[in-house]
Structure 1
Amino acid sequence: MTDEWTGGIVTDRGGDGPPTVEEWVSVSGPERPSGFGDEGPIAYRTTVADPRDDETERALLELRGVSGRAEIWLNGTRLGSHDSPVVPARFEFEPRSENELIVVCERPESFAGIDETDAVPDHFETPGVRWGVEVESRPRCFIRRFDVQPRLGTDSESDASADASAASAANAATDGAGAAIDVTLEVDAGAAIDDAVTLSLRPEGFRGGAAMERVPVTAEAGERVTVSKTLSIREPSLWWPRKYGPQDRYTVRAKLGGDSAERTVGLRRVERDEDGLLVNGRRVRARGFTRLPGGDPEADVRRAVDANATLLRARAHVPPRSFYEACDEAGILVWQDLPASGPELPVERGTELAAAIAETYGSHPSLAMYGVQDQPMDPYAEPLGSGLLAKLALRYRAWRTSVDRDPAADIADAIPGDLPVVPVTGPPGTDPDAAQLFPGWRYLAAEDADWLLETYPSLGDVVGGFGAGSLTDDADPATIPGLEPALLERQAGAGGIAPESSQASQADTLKTVAEALRRRGSGIVAASTLRDTASGGGMGIYTIDGDSKPAAAAIARSYEPVQAVLDGRATPGTVGITLCNDTHDALEAIVGWRAGDETDTERVSVGPLETVPAGTARIPRDAETVDLEVAVDDLTVRNRYNL
């Protein structure tokens, strides 16, 4: 398929014929082109060659990640339309040697998600085909749909004790009732067929039992038939989040004549209680970041791992399958939102999208929880300062805010499967199931996170966003998505803020809030945001090009599974120290601190998944930094605070 695309604004839909475009301009592709604004339907045009090597084969066109509604034309003939951002669109066509393809895309009437907010560049609103268009050749009889859904037996429980190591737990956690993988195939018979599909099961990355089954397939020419089979696993190996155990998975392959398809899946159980997530019956501290669309998903997962994350929240958008595959491989849990941001939430359409997401991504072991509605209202659009009056103003705004939760709750109840669901993610006052907390940015000071969590204790249970923005060059903040000049000025005063100082302030804010949440035992925490979506700056701890800001190293230290943190801001005087242990091991640690010429150590015992006091640091007035150090066996972990 050619990489040369043109695009243009549709001036006439054409009735029974192709659309009319007044001017075609070169575009990089139909993914996220800029320059079209919101003037109406956008048409994308390219030329594709006949993909077949043999005339007995069949030509298929596939569009992945359609935003809004797409209408597809080939050689002047309408192939059909598609309106799902989750399920691919597939069309068979009779090819010529060269074929003109036109795809007309319209903005969605609802569920545009994060694309229609100021968190991303304006061109994200332009409708398109987000994950690309492909033309392929398939045999006369081929596997049109291949659905693989793993499930653990109802009696599955992890038999690992709380004080066992994660690796030992992973090896010991088997399912007394076994496990199964339900396979469903749709076979498209271009000719009469009386054959069998061969199904094979093999473990990936570990030693385990393999299996093979043959499923008969009979169909007349032109028919599509569906066949199903359940593959049993007597002693399953489970998938675990990183640092809690191995990421064991199984690959299921289906072969029919010269055609084949395969999926790699994992076995795990995810539950949620008042303290957070349980994976395979064991407590997991989920710490990570929100991720916005755009960029390389696999590279973003690597950045999250570098920052000690165990969780990524796909905020108000649906990522491509490659994102899930990377999370499966890395052991990163995924909090998957519907593409719903703001107050409008049509229940019927939301239920359809939720079902499509569950069916498409449900076989990925990294999928850990769902979110329905992001930020239904923002009581803090006008920022607040700090101090007592600001606290009173925050409480007043939270008190007077009212949100209709019923649509989100209805969609949450309809989501298939048994994964945890967060109906509403929003700021204080929206009665959120997951909180967006921005002390030190939208309101109050960063150290007021403790006051906020004491005033509203439930806000710390599940946190879907916190942080601050920063500049990466001298760009105008008003032009940078997700940044508001008033918020930057609030940090630095009316004189503006330099990139270096804004990045230092961002690092301090994220570190302060993250560690306040850790001290209070918050079970599910996602900072905002992993990566900027535009040049010049943003809310990310990485730039749009993937370069780390100071906040990346700061929060990576704060997210260390075993870490000592200060109980308040590093200022001259006496400040308490808390030792946080996210592991399942009881630990004997030496906690030390240094501030200027002052230093001391203390031996501390901490139980699994506990936080305990670890003495105090005495900070002299001439100190420039406070350094904490935790020594456990052969491991040494450090933490640093700038005064």
Structure 2
Amino acid sequence: MKLGEWEAAAVDPGEGPPTTDEWVAVDSLRPSRFAGEHAVAYRTSFADPRDGAGRALLELHGLSPRGRVWLNGDFYGTHDTPFTPFRSVFEPADRNELLVECRTPENRLDDAGETSPANEPTIPGVRRASVEPTPENVITDLTIRHYDTDDGSGVNAIVTVDAGTDLRDRIELSLRSADTDGMSALSHVGVTADAGDRVTVRGQLTVRDPDRWWPRGFGAQNRYTVHAALDESERTATTGFQTVESRSDGIVVNGTRVPIRGLCVRSPTPETVERALAANATLVRPVGAVPPPAFYDAADEAGLLICQDVPLDPGGLDVERPRRVARTLGGAYGHHPSLAGFGVRDDAARFESIDDEGDRYVLRATSGGDPAATATAAAEALPNDVPAFVFPGFDAGPEEVSSPTAWLLDGYAGADDPLDAGTHTRYVVPGADADERAERAGHALERLRESGRPIVTALPPATDDNDTDPIETAFAPVKAFLDESTPGETRAVVVNDTPEPATGDLAWTAGDADGALSVEIGPLSRDTVGEIDVPIEAHRVELSLSIDDHVVTTTVDR
């Protein structure tokens, strides 16, 4: 049951329940009239949601960090992570009053997740609030962790139970393929609790030879459903079996290298998945935001990899809070097979040189020095079965970096230790004209791919409507480039990011000259397919690569 008929007021936060002389009726839990307030309190009343026996479950989604909750005058707790719901089981009265105090985010760690899209003002509040009837003994959380042994692969199911009565029972755990009706694994775990206790129990489900989840184009997106049942209470989680490693040659999934062509987004939604696929991206990096669960579900189904930023404020001195946020984030999203890594922003990782090339800035950084304390704390608290990458912040470099009209393009040379990020090149492409800016960004992206960087990402400006057009061209899985690194020689190079061999033709035009080359290149490889005799007066070369009746055109300005 969705809760409605709310009242709200700006308040001064204190130790006890917030008070005010005047409540006003509001039609949302983030009313614009309270933008910029330090703290806002919301209250509503509701009837007993039960038809018979049992208790009730309160859920608050997108609750502002450090939100505090009271029910019928009793304090029910503080919530610190807006990307997970606040849940509490209670004994409802005939009439109930809910009071929630929300505070303004103090830093980037607070202002992250589905609670704060980039285009909205900061308003302390809640996204959704509901209350539902529930059994006396209820499963309130199911967390999945993967493991591998000599006997097979499996999951550790971590189940949280809120007991309304003295409890001596067993939880049934099962694992099934999401696409079939057959049972893959079944087990039981005992649970003992006194009335009023909250307990956590763990059980294992092992599969000898599970069907693996693969990124798009590399295999099927096989998934499994984990089901936990305690009498009438149950919870499910969908997961997939894969392994992810970070090596010097990039990201390796299930033992196969997957070239990373990444789209960075500031406000991810489930529709972002379709947008990324249309742009030929293999990965999405939500920048400083935690997407809603539906985003991850869509990425799991589509075979799109995710590098999830850990929202934190690297400049802060409190290392325990980033550690706690990282643990919570890993528990909430670690079961998704699309999760290929966590990104931890580190203000200690600086760019060592900045070159002005006229139409773009080139920023270069190398690893070195110790990561900031908060970045280290967050990285160490994350699950160890998914790589954690320490990235420089997006506000490093020239003033144009922070402009909403600048493209930010990153190329990473991998490292065997993900926390040692290797070398890093960033192109900053500013400009007032969107079409000209996008064309320059496309050329810069192609240069990053031609350089052989195993991880290439693009963050388009927030102001460009067709921001994926240049990315789609630059991110073509099979693409031709010019190599003019040797004076007097111009070679045509083809990169094949797919796991299948590619065969076709490459036609080129340069001024009044033209020609064609045959292309035959192996999977996941890069090769020179021939030399091109480019007239010295030609200022532009056009390459048209035809593979399986699909033509990708690359324009190179000289």
Please, what TM-score do these two structures have when normalized by structure 2? 0.82
Is the contact between residue 593 and residue 617 of structure 1 (CA under 8 Å) also seen in structure 2?
no
Q: Which residue of structure 1 aligns with residue 454 of structure 2?
A: 523
Output one character per residue of 1:205-229: Cα deviation in whole Å (capped at 9) or x when no partner. Answer: 3697623334344544444444332
Q: Secondary structure at the match of 1:20?
A: coil
| Structure 1: distance between partners of 2:158 and 2:360 | 61
CA displacement at 1:273 relative to structure 2? 1.2
Output one character per residue of 1:224-263: Cα deviation in whole Å (capped at 9) or x when no partner. Answer: 4443321110111111111111111110112222221111
CA displacement at 1:384 relative to structure 2? 8.0
- Does 2:241 match 1:261? no
CA change 1:640–1:113 in 2 (3 A) is: farther
- Does 2:554 match 1:637? no
| Structure 2: distance between partners of 1:616 and 1:319 | 46
CA displacement at 1:628 relative to structure 2? 3.4
Q: Secondary structure at the match of 2:312?
A: coil
- Between 215-224 and 507-516, report the one with greater CA deviation: 215-224
CA change 1:252–1:313 in 2 (3 A) is: same
CA change 1:128–1:21 in 2 (3 A) is: farther
CA displacement at 1:343 relative to structure 2? 3.1
| Structure 1: distance between partners of 2:193 and 2:187 | 20
| Structure 1: distance between partners of 2:410 and 2:378 | 31
- Between 238-247 and 215-224, report the one with greater CA deviation: 215-224
CA displacement at 1:41 relative to structure 2? 0.7
Output one character per residue of 1:363-421: Cα deviation in whole Å (capped at 9) or x when no partner. Answer: 111111112225568889xx985459988xx78xx89x999634423432343323222
Is the contact between residue 7 and residue 23 of structure 2 (CA under 8 Å) also seen in structure 1?
no
Which of 452, 457, 473 is equivalent to 1:557?
A: 473
Q: Which residue of structure 1 aligns with residue 387 of structure 2?
A: 420
Which of 125, 140, 143 is equivalent to 1:147?
A: 143
Report which of the two has the higher share of helix: 1
Is the contact between residue 212 and residue 240 of structure 2 (CA under 8 Å) also seen in structure 1?
yes
CA displacement at 1:336 relative to structure 2? 1.4
CA displacement at 1:621 relative to structure 2? 8.8
| Structure 2: distance between partners of 1:128 and 1:617 | 64
| Structure 2: distance between partners of 1:389 and 1:23 | 53
| Structure 2: distance between partners of 1:576 and 1:226 | 62
Which of 176, 185, 188 is equivalent to 1:211?
A: 185
CA change 1:140–1:522 in 2 (3 A) is: same
Q: Secondary structure at the match of 1:210?
A: strand
Q: Which residue of structure 2 aligns with residue 477 of structure 1?
A: none
Please show how residues 184-203 of structure 1 align to structure 2 within 5 Å: 184-203=158-177
| Structure 1: distance between partners of 2:153 and 2:82 | 31
Q: Secondary structure at the match of 2:378?
A: helix
Q: Secondary structure at the match of 2:335?
A: coil
| Structure 2: distance between partners of 1:626 and 1:441 | 33
The one-letter amino acid of 2:210's match is P
Q: Which residue of structure 2 aligns with residue 173 of structure 1?
A: none
Please show how residues 397-408 of structure 1 align to structure 2 within 5 Å: 405-408=372-375
Which of 53, 56, 65 is equivalent to 2:51?
A: 53
Is the contact between residue 72 and residue 81 of structure 1 (CA under 8 Å) also seen in structure 2?
yes
Q: Which residue of structure 2 aligns with residue 105 of structure 1?
A: 102
Output one character per residue of 1:551-601: Cα deviation in whole Å (capped at 9) or x when no partner. Answer: 412211221211123559xxxx99754311112334333112356876431
Aligned-pair identity in percent equals 35
CA displacement at 1:124 relative to structure 2? 4.5
Q: Which residue of structure 2 aligns with residue 9 of structure 1?
A: 10
| Structure 2: distance between partners of 1:508 and 1:460 | 29
Q: Secondary structure at the match of 1:335?
A: strand
The one-letter amino acid of 1:524's match is I
Is the contact between residue 145 and residue 185 of structure 1 (CA under 8 Å) also seen in structure 2?
yes
CA displacement at 1:75 relative to structure 2? 4.3
| Structure 2: distance between partners of 1:234 and 1:147 | 21
The one-letter amino acid of 1:53's match is D
Output one character per residue of 1:146-184: Cα deviation in whole Å (capped at 9) or x when no partner. Answer: 22222233x6xxxxxxxxxxxxxxxxxxxxx41111122
The one-letter amino acid of 1:40's match is H
Q: Which residue of structure 2 aligns with residue 611 of structure 1?
A: 526
RMSD: 4.2
Is the contact between residue 194 and residue 216 of structure 1 (CA under 8 Å) also seen in structure 2?
yes
Please show how residues 36-185 of structure 1 align to structure 2 within 5 Å: 36-54=34-52, 56-97=53-94, 99-112=96-109, 121=118, 123-129=120-126, 131-153=127-149, 177-185=151-159
Which of 291, 294, 301 is equivalent to 2:273?
A: 301
Q: Secondary structure at the match of 2:29?
A: coil
Is the contact between residue 314 and residue 374 of structure 2 (CA under 8 Å) also seen in structure 1?
no
Is the contact between residue 9 and residue 21 of structure 1 (CA under 8 Å) also seen in structure 2?
no
| Structure 2: distance between partners of 1:219 and 1:345 | 39
Q: Secondary structure at the match of 1:560?
A: coil
Which of 218, 223, 236 is equivalent to 2:210?
A: 236
| Structure 2: distance between partners of 1:438 and 1:14 | 40
Q: Secondary structure at the match of 1:329?
A: helix
The one-letter amino acid of 1:137's match is P
| Structure 1: distance between partners of 2:472 and 2:496 | 15
Please show how residues 126-525 of structure 1 align to structure 2 within 5 Å: 126-129=123-126, 131-153=127-149, 177-205=151-179, 210-293=184-267, 297-341=269-313, 343-344=315-316, 346-373=318-345, 386=357, 405-426=372-393, 468=429, 487=430, 491=431, 497=432, 502-525=433-456
Q: Secondary structure at the match of 2:273?
A: helix
CA displacement at 1:519 relative to structure 2? 1.0
Is the contact between residue 65 and residue 320 of structure 1 (CA under 8 Å) also seen in structure 2?
no
CA change 1:147–1:115 in 2 (3 A) is: closer
Q: Which residue of structure 2 aligns with residue 19 of structure 1?
A: 19
Q: Which residue of structure 2 aligns with residue 168 of structure 1?
A: none
Q: Secondary structure at the match of 2:298?
A: helix
| Structure 2: distance between partners of 1:325 and 1:389 | 37
- Does 2:508 match 1:593? yes
CA change 1:390–1:336 in 2 (3 A) is: closer
| Structure 2: distance between partners of 1:427 and 1:591 | 37
| Structure 1: distance between partners of 2:456 and 2:223 | 26
Q: Which residue of structure 2 aligns with residue 165 of structure 1?
A: none
| Structure 2: distance between partners of 1:220 and 1:254 | 20
